[in-house]
Amino acid sequence: MGHELKLVTLLLFLFLLSVPSAEAAIRYHNWEVRYEYKSPDCYQKLVITINGQTPGPTIEAQQGDTIVVELKNSLVTENVAIHWHGIHQGLTWGKDREVVSGFECDQRGTPWFDGVAGVTQCPIVPGDTFVYKFVVDRPGTYLYHAHYGLQRVNGLFGMIQVSLPPGVSEPYTYDDEKSIILTDWYHKSTFEQATGLLSIPFGWVGEPQSLLIQGKGSFNCSTPGIEAKLCNATNPECSPYVMTVVPGKTYKLRIGSLTSLEALSFEIEGHNMTVVEADGSNVEPFVVKNLFIYSGETYSVLIKANQAPTRNYWIVSKVVARNSTTPNGLAIFNYHPNNPTTSPPTVPPVGPAWNDVEPRLAQSQATKARQGYITPPPEKSDRVIVLLNTQNKINGYTRWSVNNVSFNLPNTPYLIAVKEKLHHVFNQSPPPNGYDHRHYDIFNPPTNPNATTSTSIYKLQFDSTVDIVIQNANALPANDSETHPWHLHGHDFWVMGYGKGKFNIHKDPKKYNLVDPILKNTVSVQPYGWTALRFRANNPGVWYFHCHIEYHLFLGMGVVFEEGVKKLGKLPPSIFGCGDAKVSP
């Protein structure tokens, strides 16, 4: 009798969960992805659009809503997949609940809709339509972008804005909100770029031609060698982006970066910004003049329109962390009722020095969880994995690697391979947990630059606490250690600490922030420095963890974590169809 009562209780519980709340809604989007000629910085090239737009349409939803995206691939000659960056695809019916009334539930989320070809799904082939369906379980600012080849470089990206339900307010006030996406922009096609990266000698992509603010930039059409018919400075597509504000009002500005290469400084001339959110988590407020933002990060800042309203002001994005030749991105902060097309009367701010690491590190260290919104991390971890960022050679080809292993995706997605026990499709040997930190010199090029490739993945004990320490080292050229933004799929992590030089596994963990660390999904690692993260492996699935610089990921700078896949129910047939991923009858 007790068993039957438990069963009835379970069925009733699951039925109630399946009934949307009064506030929850289904947000349906019908998208077509295709190539079109566009001139976002006045130079015409083929870009990937969603329904004719780049950036793509902004997804707006409330916490608890279900997002449905019916995606048609009209690229003709290319596969596609879209990742919903910052969306956990995980538990949607109760925090950390594994057992309901004595029964283990085998459905915790939608990991197959994370949108990574080769990891969570087979790619969407030309002409096919694929339906993504997932719940946005947390408020905040998130992103979406292509996760196949170099397609993100070509404009396939957009923003996700998740608001609180009605009657629930944020811990800060403002009059209105706006959003903005920052990107860098190349004129070479991704086919040319990929060919150079995969060639001997190595053909680096170089610095981008422009920085775009909300999809608009301004390339100098008088540049020698530029065909006049390809570049038109009067094209309205590349007119500066204008953000119009009302004098005296306070605005919440959601800012996301989806650069392919660059770290950026973002500034609004004459206006301070108060940082209040990072990657969907509430931040203990702090004021900045320049906001440093890395690829894959999102911030919300408060800006008060409190300057002289008789003129307009510059919005500026600038490359930092690289000695770049790319001109600053410019947009206009327009005070109503000024003419929005009128350029400010001043010279745009020059921004911080590209190689000044201290203010960037200071911002990272200042980003703490807001009082009243702190989720304390576990005091100890069950496992520590140290990831050394290196640039290497493999059979003469230049690659990016982790612990001297450059990552390759197999033809069969990992989620399917693990669930269906297809052990032959990827390397079953565990990848290294660290490197020879006692003898490795992080400040000079590697004495032995050669590395290996692998398809092996980290298998994490379900519900364990994992520490990841990312260590930066010198690349192949002397005096070159790059800034790497690392992004974890399927989770937020606590940022436990940052440091300069080589991580000391005995001393540095004693300095970790156990009081108010911020929860994020993307974090920077500064040159010749380290960053420590902690997360709970409590989201059944297979999850990518990688450098968010598109070219570094393309060349192997990433790892994959598997946790609790056996807890998942039957995988949907729509994600099958490549490699050995055959739909079971």
Give the pLDDT mean for 269-280: 98
Question: pLDDT at position 108, please?
Answer: 61
- Band the pLDDT of 98: cuts 50, 70, 90: very low
- Band the pLDDT of 4: cuts 50, 70, 90: very low
Within 10 angstroms of residue 413's Cβ, the number of other Cβ atoms is 32
Question: pLDDT at position 583, please?
Answer: 74
By the 8 A CB rule, do 142 and 162 touch?
yes
485 is written with which tokens?
């933004």
Question: pLDDT at position 502, please?
Answer: 96
Which residues are paired to 282 by β-bridges?
Answer: 277
By the 8 A CB rule, do 426 and 417 touch?
yes
Question: pLDDT at position 437, please?
Answer: 86
The CATH number for 383-581, chosen from 2.30.42.10, 2.60.40.1120, 3.30.750.24, 2.60.40.420, is 2.60.40.420
pLDDT digits (tens, 9 = 90+) for 147-177: 999 999 999 999 999 999 999 999 999 999 9
Residue 489 has pLDDT above 60, yes or no: yes
- 184 closest CA partner among 173, 175, 193: 193
CA atoms within 13 A on the CB side of 320: 27
DSSP assignment of 399-439 equals EEEETTEEE---SS-HHHHHHTT-GGGS--SPPPS---TTT
- H helices of 201-295, where? none
- Band the pLDDT of 91: cuts 50, 70, 90: low
70 is written with which tokens?
């019916």
Kindly report which listed range (13-17, 41-45, 435-439) carries the lowest average pLDDT score.
13-17
319 is written with which tokens?
């490359």
Q: How far is the C-alpha of 471 from the C-alpha of 389, rounded, in Å? A: 6
- Band the pLDDT of 103: cuts 50, 70, 90: very low
- H helices of 189-288, where? 190-197
pLDDT digits (tens, 9 = 90+) for 24-54: 899 999 999 999 999 999 999 999 999 999 9
Residues ≥6 apart with Cβ < 8 Å to 475: 390, 391, 445, 481, 482
Provide the terminal-to-terminal Cα distance of the chain, rounded to the nearest Å: 36
Residue 7 has pLDDT above 50, yes or no: no
By the 8 A CB rule, do 285 and 276 touch?
yes
Question: pLDDT at position 483, please?
Answer: 96
Question: pLDDT at position 2, please?
Answer: 43
- Say yes or no: do domains 176-366 and 383-581 share a fold: yes
CATH number, domain 176-366 = 2.60.40.420
Q: How far is the C-alpha of 174 from the C-alpha of 176, rounded, in Å? A: 6
Question: pLDDT at position 16, please?
Answer: 37
By the 8 A CB rule, do 517 and 551 touch?
no
- What b/e sequence results for 119-132 when a residue is b if at least 16 CB atoms lie within 10 Å of its CB, and e otherwise? bbbbbbeeeeebeb
159 is written with which tokens?
């923003």
* CA 212-218-224 angle, 5° bins: 125
Mean pLDDT, rounded, of the chain: 92
Q: Of 395 and 91, which is predicted with more confidence?
A: 395
Amino acid type, 92: T
Domain locations in the chain as residue ranges = 26-95+103-163, 176-366, 383-581
Which residues are paired to 299 by β-bridges?
Answer: 255, 278
Give the pLDDT mean for 541-570: 97
CATH class of this structure's domain 26-95+103-163: mainly beta
pLDDT digits (tens, 9 = 90+) for 223-233: 999 988 999 99
The phi and psi torsions of 347 (rounded to 5 degrees) equal: -75, 135
Element containing residue 16 per DSSP (H, E): helix 2-18
- 271 closest CA partner among 309, 240, 241, 298: 309
pTM (whole model) above 0.85: yes
pLDDT digits (tens, 9 = 90+) for 307-366: 999 999 999 999 999 999 999 999 999 999 999 989 999 999 999 999 999 999 999 999
Question: pLDDT at position 242, please?
Answer: 97
Question: pLDDT at position 414, please?
Answer: 98
